[in-house]
A = this chain, B = another copy of it.
Amino acid sequence: MSSSYTNYTNSPCAACKFLRRKCTPDCVFAPYFPPEEPTKFANVHRIFGASNVSKILQEVAPHQREDAVNSLAYEAEARLRDPVYGCVGAISVLQRQVLGLQRELEETNADIMRYASCLGGETTSFCGGQRG
């Protein structure tokens, strides 16, 4: 996705520019922090620190580094927007949404069972109400 491998001879990557250092051909940040996206590096640096990001990148297989950087950038942005909960806030919202949907689905399935009983010949007040 990133073309910065071909860029670094012309322009330092966003990380090296931010850290005011020479961007060498083996720069671990260059493929994932192109110069045209300076905020992406500034955010992860502010939340995780450049050296922790570099450590994480080195722990991860090369073909997974782009995903690792993108998830770090997502987390950093969420933490800057919400210093108390960061992206854990999104997890809480989604967990509540899942519980709500599960409850709604259970109720709807219970209704289906009742409709099926009516069509099978049952004559409870529910069936009468529906027929009326």
Partner-B contacts on A (CB < 8 A): 46-49, 51-52, 56, 59-60, 64, 67-68, 71-72, 74-75, 79, 83-91, 94-95, 97-98, 101-102, 104-105, 108-109, 111-112, 115-116, 118-120, 127, 130-131
Chain B residues, CB < 8 A from A109:
108
* A119-B115, A130-B119 as given contacts; A59 in contact with B83, CB under 8 Å: yes
* A90-B91, A108-B109, A109-B108 as given contacts; A64 in contact with B48, CB under 8 Å: no
Q: Closest CB of chain B to A99's CB: distance in Å?
A: 10
Chain B residues, CB < 8 A from A84:
60, 64, 67-68, 71
> Which one of B71, B102, B116, B120 contacts A88 once the chains associate, using CB atoms below 8 Å?
B71
Tell me the bound Cα distance from A120 to B130 in angstroms: 7
Chain B residue nearest in CB terms to A72: B86
* A86-B72, A105-B105 as given contacts; A79 in contact with B94, CB under 8 Å: no
* A47-B48, A108-B105, A115-B115 as given contacts; A85 in contact with B71, CB under 8 Å: yes
